[in-house]
């Protein structure tokens, strides 16, 4: 096949405008097809006529007809664009997009995805989904992953990416019942579990908003996300986290939601590339959005029997 001399080819925009005009029989129909104005289509066709050095369309009654030169150009353009479209669809349909790579937080995956992933596989047989529990502090890497699930604050953005909000979830203070019993109502003397998924400044701000003196807080650092919750359940300290993270422990009574003035909402979001996603990725994203829409949080405590200090430091 002879090498293409790209310098002699007209711009793709003019070829596309003319092909649509020829195929659909006019500027208006071509404009609707390409989501631009008829004037823009007419301008592109005139540019192409200048490039070619010959008229391609002519007025015929109230419409347009192709000139002889236009007829000769329209047929190969139609075939070429059709072949390009087939090639793009073939590329989208290759086996690789049947695999979905998801970066998520450890606890979001444990609480939301893993308990129901069988439903997704039943509805989408053959689609492989792999997870990496990277956590909130890892950067969003859409070269390595198709979807990154991250928890953040209201108003937080990820510029350059498409973002779909999945869940709004309160940030809460919780503790083992045994720890609260030992405190005898004085929660200010209790240690706190260090949450490594949360920047230290956020931890200080949230504890202050919950009514505690952040300068007097003693932190217990278990060293990993999994051990942080275990340490809270064992009564080693107060814990601050999203309600979703500790929900099953609230449900079984191994942790108690401590009623505090803290009123902060975290938002879990799915972050993807902009534009059309591979079918398997889109299917997983839609499924994930659906199960999150069905989520029902643990109810906020109605009494203040397990309450924090009423004043902030």
- Across the chain, what does the average pLDDT equal? 86
pLDDT band at 192; cut points 50, 70, 90: confident
Q: Which residue has the higher pLDDT, 76 or 153?
A: 76
C-alpha separations of 164 from 27, 123, 161 in Å: 37, 22, 10
Domain 98-293 has CATH 3.40.190.290: yes
The predicted structure's pLDDT at residue 309: 46
Indicate the burial class of 208 (C-beta count within 10 angstroms; 0-12, 13-18, 19 or more). Answer: middle
What is the domain partition of the chain in residue ranges?
6-92, 98-293
CA dist., res. 189 & res. 56, Å (int): 85
pLDDT band at 152; cut points 50, 70, 90: confident
Greatest pairwise CA separation for the chain in angstroms: 95
Domain 6-92: state its class: mainly alpha
The 8-class DSSP code of residue 114 comes to: G
Q: Which residue has the higher pLDDT, 158 or 53?
A: 53
The predicted structure's pLDDT at residue 101: 94
pLDDT band at 138; cut points 50, 70, 90: confident
pLDDT above 50 (res 78): yes
Indicate the burial class of 202 (C-beta count within 10 angstroms; 0-12, 13-18, 19 or more). Answer: middle
Q: Do residues 240 and 210 lie in contact, with contact meaning Cβ atoms separated by under 8 Å?
A: yes
The predicted structure's pLDDT at residue 253: 94
pLDDT above 90 (res 136): no
Q: Tell the residue number behind the tokens 């509805």, with chain if given.
A: 123
Of 34-43, 132-141, 197-206, which range is least confident? 197-206
């Amino acid at each position: 096949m002879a090498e293409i001399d790209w310098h002699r080819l007209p711009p793709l925009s003019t070829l596309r405008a003319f092909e649509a005009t020829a195929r659909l029989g006019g500027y208006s129909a071509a404009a609707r097809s390409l989501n631009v104005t008829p004037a823009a289509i007419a301008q592109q066709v005139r540019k192409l006529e200048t490039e070619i050095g010959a008229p391609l369309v002519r007025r015929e009654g109230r419409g347009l007809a192709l000139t002889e030169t236009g007829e000769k150009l329209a047929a190969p353009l139609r075939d070429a664009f059709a072949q390009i479209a087939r090639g793009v669809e073939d590329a989208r349909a290759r086996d690789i997009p049947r695999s979905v790579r998801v970066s998520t937080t450890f606890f979001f995956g444990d609480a939301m995805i893993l308990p129901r992933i069988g439903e997704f596989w039943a509805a989408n047989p053959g689609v492989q989904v792999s997870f990496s529990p990277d956590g909130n502090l890892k950067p969003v890497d859409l070269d390595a992953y198709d979807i990154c699930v991250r928890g953040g604050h209201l108003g937080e953005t990820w510029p350059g990416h498409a973002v779909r909000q999945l869940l709004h979830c309160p940030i809460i203070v919780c503790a083992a019942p045994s720890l609260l019993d030992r405190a005898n109502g004085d929660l200010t003397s209790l240690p706190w579990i260090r949450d490594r998924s949360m920047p230290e400044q956020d931890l200080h701000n949230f504890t202050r908003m919950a009514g505690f003196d952040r300068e007097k807080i003693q932190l217990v650092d278990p060293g990993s996300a999994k051990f942080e919750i275990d340490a809270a359940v064992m009564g080693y300290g107060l814990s601050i986290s999203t309600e979703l993270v500790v929900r099953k422990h609230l449900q079984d009574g191994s942790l108690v939601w401590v009623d505090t003035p803290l009123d902060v909402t975290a938002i879990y979001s799915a972050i993807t590339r902009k534009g059309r996603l591979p079918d398997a990725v889109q299917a997983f994203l839609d499924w994930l959005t659906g199960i999150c829409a069905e989520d029902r949080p643990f109810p906020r405590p109605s009494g203040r029997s397990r309450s924090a200090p009423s004043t902030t430091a």
